[in-house]
Amino acid sequence: ASGCSSMIGKMTAVWFPISAFVALGLDHSVANMFIIPLAMLRGAEITMGQFLVKNLIPVTLGNIVGGALCVMLPFGTTHGNWFGKKTAAAQE
C-alpha cells in the first residue's frame, strides 16, 4: 500500500490480504480485543473467562508462532545472515 499514490490504490492494496486472512478463518488477537468486548457490550452471552481461555490466549499464541514461522523465519533466512559464515570483524 505504501507504493501507491492514490487512496483508492492503497485501499485496494490492503483489501486483498485482509480478505484472504478472513476467508481462511484466521483470527488476530488485537482485532479480537476490540470485536469480542464490543459484542459483549452489545449483549452477547460471553463471559470474560470464556473470552480469555477460549479465544484470546489461543489466538495470541497462534499469532506468535505463526508470525515467527511464517514471517520471521523466511525473512531471516533469505535476507539475514543466520547461517552464513562469520567474518573476522563480526566475530570480535
Full 3-state SS string of the chain:
CCCCCCHHHHHHHHHHHHHHHHHCCCCCHHHHHHHHHHHHHCCCCCCHHHHHHHHHHHHHHHHHHHHHHHHHHHHHHHHCCCCCCCCHHHHC
Long-range contacts (CB closer than 8 Å, 24 or more residues apart) made by 48-54: none
36 CB neighbour count, 10 Å cutoff: 19
Q: Which of 11-20, 40-49, 66-75 has the lowest mean pLDDT?
A: 11-20
Q: Would you tell me the crossing angle of helices 29-41 and 57-67 to the nearest 10 degrees?
A: 160
pLDDT in tens, 56-88: 999 999 989 988 898 888 888 888 877 666 666
Spatial contact of 90 and 82, defined as CB atoms under 8 Å apart? no
33 CB neighbour count, 10 Å cutoff: 15
pTM for the structure as a whole? 0.62
